[in-house]
Amino acid sequence: MINIIIAGPRGKMGRAAVQMVQETEHFHLAAVLDRKNGGKYLNEVDGFAGIGSDVPVYEDHEECFSTVEADVLIDLTTPEVGRIHTLSALAHGIRPVVGTTGFSDEDLGELRTMTKDKGIGCIIAPNFAIGAILMMKFAQNAAKYFDDVEILEMHHDQKLDAPSGTAIKTAQLISEERTVKKQGHANEKETIPGARGADFEGMRIHSVRLPGLIAHQEVIFGGEGQTLTIRHDSYDRKSFMSGVRVSVDTVMNLDHLVYGLENILD
């Protein structure tokens, strides 16, 4: 049995994760970490009637991590608080599985150092959906043959960070194969600032935010007389849950930080 704490249980991902943990035979939801409802049980929180009558809600992460006997923290919050939760969990010997996006390179470096010092596992996954991981790997492979690429990520309009964690990870993987190149016309000029999107080593990332969307990304490569488009769509947050489950199982046997599920899948 793996004892789990979920941070951000009332969020869109947090709710899906609570359901996944409850449905997984060898997982036990030991507690949740919320910024409201401290002192209650989960079944007393709006939207959880009938679920988690034995699952305490904590508002204070220190109190939660020092009181609850947990193996794994699943964090699905915001980068600011997710970073603090992750550092604190590691300090208490609890292995973090972090889906929260928006961490800076400095944040990742700090977490990598802390994980190494503690000698326990930590997984930070910008995207838990297997289709999205394949999209990133296919895009990295295609980058061996195409120098010019633009990433178009499309998300629901409640998303806080832009570009998405997936788009940044995709650009990082592509950059392992691609020589830095400023794309487009040498003299191109934006007549409205931002028209050409974010610049990652000369490749462009465009962020669309619209109600109705969940999580979607196209990686478009261009060459002479042709384009190649690699696209992934998440239509339901259930698409992320098998990746969260695999991450919880895997982090139990790690002694270092893994950034990206492509590193733990065959």
Ligand X SMILES: NC(=O)C1=CN([C@@H]2O[C@H](COP(=O)(O)OP(=O)(O)OC[C@H]3O[C@@H](n4cnc5c(N)ncnc54)[C@H](OP(=O)(O)O)[C@@H]3O)[C@@H](O)[C@H]2O)C=CC1
Q: Out of ligand X, ligand LZUJQKHR, none, which partner does residue 35 contact, by CB within 5 to 8 A per kind?
A: ligand X
Residues 6+ apart with CB under 8 A from 173: 136, 137, 139, 140, 143, 260, 262
**Which CB, 111 or 146, lies closer to ligand X?**
111
Helix (H) or strand (E) holding 178: none
239 lines the binding site for ligand LZUJQKHR (CB under 6 A): no
In the bound state, the residue with its beta carbon closest to ligand X is 11
How far, in Å, CA of 199 to CA of 210, rounded? 22
| Site residues (CB under 6 A) for ligand LZUJQKHR, limited to 110-149 | 126-127
Return the residue of 4, 5, 6, 14 that touches ligand X, per CB under 6 A: 14
Both tokens of residue 201?
């080593």
Per-residue interface string for the shown chain with ligand X, residues 235-264, x marking contact by CB under 6 A: -----x------------------------
Output DSSP code: residue 256: S
Q: Out of ligand LZUJQKHR, ligand X, none, which partner does residue 125 contact, by CB within 5 to 8 A per kind?
A: ligand X
CA-closest candidate to residue 155, choices 205, 215, 78: 215
**Which CB, 127 or 207, lies closer to ligand X?**
127
Annotation marks residue 169 as catalytic: no
- Maximum Cα–Cα distance across the chain: 63
CA-closest candidate to residue 61, choices 143, 5, 1: 5
Output DSSP code: residue 263: G
How far, in Å, CA of 222 to CA of 150, rounded? 9
Annotation marks residue 85 as catalytic: no
Q: Out of ligand LZUJQKHR, ligand X, none, which partner does residue 10 contact, by CB within 5 to 8 A per kind?
A: ligand X
Strand partners, 54: none
77 is in an annotated binding site: no
Q: How far is the CB of 22 from ligand X (least distance, A)?
A: 17
Neighbours of 160 (CB within 10 A): 9
Using the contact rule CB under 6 A, the part of the chain among 5-13, 114-122, 172-180, 181-189 near ligand X is 5-13
The three-state secondary structure class of 120 is: coil
Both tokens of residue 99?
């889906």
166 lines the binding site for ligand LZUJQKHR (CB under 6 A): yes
Burial of 144 (0-12, 13-18, 19+ CB in 10 A): exposed
Binding residues: 8-13, 34-35, 99-101, 125-128, 156, 165-166
Query: Residue numbers of the site for ligand X (CB under 6 A)?
Result: 8, 10-14, 35-36, 76-78, 81, 99-102, 125-128, 161, 240
Query: Residue numbers of the site for ligand LZUJQKHR (CB under 6 A)?
Result: 101, 126-127, 155, 159, 164-166, 215
Binding residues for NADP(+): 35
Where in the sequence numbering do the catalytic residues fall? 155, 159
